[in-house]
Amino acid sequence: MYIGVDCGTQSTKVVVVDAADGRIVGEASRPHRLEQGDGGRREQRVEEWTEAFRVAFGEALANADVEASQVRGIGISGQQHGMVALDAAGVPVHPAKLWNDTETAAWNAGLIERLGGEAGCLDKLGLVLQTGYTASKIAWLRDTHPDAYRRIATLLLPHDYLNFWLTGERVAECGDASGTGYFDTRRRQWRHDVFAEIAPELDPEAVLPRLIASREAAGTVRPALARELGLGDEVLVSSGGGDNMMGAIGTGNIAPGMVTISLGTSGTIAVHSPDPVVPDNAMVANFCASHGGWLPLICTMNVTSATTTLRELVGLDIDGFNRAVAEAEPGAGGITLLPFFSGERVPALPEAQASLSGMTSFNTTPANLCRAAVESATFGLRYGLELLGPLASRATQVRLVGGGAKSPIWRQIVADVLDVEVVCPRVTEAAAFGGAIQARWCDQRESDVALATLCRDWVALDEETLTHPRVEVVARYHEIYGRYRDVLKTVHGVT
């Protein structure tokens, strides 16, 4: 058995995968508490992750009716960009600052300027710093919590921290490291000169984790923790990766011409490239993949987080929300939502707020508000997809994952807005599943297994979710998307 873990913003999910055929035989999840505050603060205590892992791990094994001693490997997927700053004893000096924290926008702007603007960032890093990246969080901690900053001995990302908790090893891999803002995504190495601009008092050789290859194991589970969890000796922990990188593996997106879109708390669009990409736009992230190659990526901040806000506003459960969306016509009766409840990364509006326009006494209904929420989240993804140019435009099928992908009406809206065939993998927890696949691939006892073979044999598509764009609705949505872009330009000056 191989264990896949996805430590996300809202919960930790664990899947148990049978190595004989790639079936998920057990799964469980445990929620996290999110600490939020004015100014865009979004933080979590690392204990939320480790406790959720313990509980979900035990429940998943129980649901699978297998013993922990049967586990051969564990693969961790984690929310990207989070800052986990540890002291010499491995204790956090501050709660983990998350990917969707926008409190550090001013620090990010300052770093971009010091690095020579967007051109300087592209030259040094292969991408342009975004507020959500780890770099500005470290700069923020330096200025606002100097006592905590001075105690930093190690800087990790969320998935790195779980690997450290499991193994005691302080390592990182290139996919997740790409989103720190002090990693050269083309040469696959830390940029010590950039790090010096962020944290001049810290020695990068000491505080940055050792980089390992995607197929290299982070280590094995610590004996004391293995005994606590009931694991056998020498249980491998794979390199792991960011949730987008592991989601790519979990959907079989490891070859050119494939597109994975996640309808999660945030929205992501990932395409595979065998070579590093030189982006024309600062909003395209030239990330490394966690299996080799590169994973150019677009991330929007408000997807199911936005639809949940509107759903709760009108007092509906998920089934009622989906029925309301289906009842409304395309275009939501003329209502346009800019869903920037958490600011926005694409377009680059970290301090933006959400707004509704086009409301009248006739069209302001719960159904139209719900439809506007789903449409606006999807329009944001279309905006991002267009920025990827030929890498995405050649795709004939999108593999859709995340909580929103479970909704048939949302799948249809995605197909119509993007004018492309949409299908879901049978396993919708793609990031956790990708962790299990990577763990099998990294297992030295199975060193002859090819990742392409695993993805071919294990990643199956759910043909019942196959959704085709409707020609007449595609044309309507082209006009409605134009209205969305007009409102975006009027309110925020974004063309």
DSSP 329: P
Token pair 């007449």 is found at 472
User: In this structure, what token pair is assigned to residue 40?
Assistant: 């865009």
Instruction: Kindly tell me the number of DSSP H helices and DSSP E strands found in the chain.
Output: 19, 25
CA 415/CA 34 separation, integer angstroms: 32
Distances (CA, A) of 363 to 309, 329, 360, 465: 19, 11, 5, 31
Name the burial class of residue 488, with classes exposed (0-12), middle (13-18) and buried (19+) by CB atoms within 10 angstroms of its CB: buried
Tell me how long the chain is.
Answer: 495
356 bridge partner residues: 337
Name the burial class of residue 453, with classes exposed (0-12), middle (13-18) and buried (19+) by CB atoms within 10 angstroms of its CB: exposed
User: In this structure, what token pair is assigned to residue 295?
Assistant: 């994973």
DSSP assignment of 30-95 equals: EE---EEETTTEEEE-HHHHHHHHHHHHHHHHHHHT--GGG--EEEEEE-TT-BEEE-TTS-BSSP
Helix (H) or strand (E) holding 467: strand 461-467
Strands (E), 223-320: 236-237, 241-242, 259-263, 267-271, 285-288, 294-300
Strands 96-97, 154-156: pairing is unpaired
Name the burial class of residue 445, with classes exposed (0-12), middle (13-18) and buried (19+) by CB atoms within 10 angstroms of its CB: exposed
Phi, psi of 328 (to 5 degrees): -80, 150
Angle at 111 between CA 385 and CA 295, to 5 degrees: 30
CA 327/CA 323 separation, integer angstroms: 6
Active-site residue, 243 included = yes
Question: Which residue is catalytic, options 101, 176, 184, 243?
Answer: 243
Buried b (16+ CB within 10 A) or exposed e, 233-242: eebbbbbbbb
Q: Catalytic positions, please?
A: 243
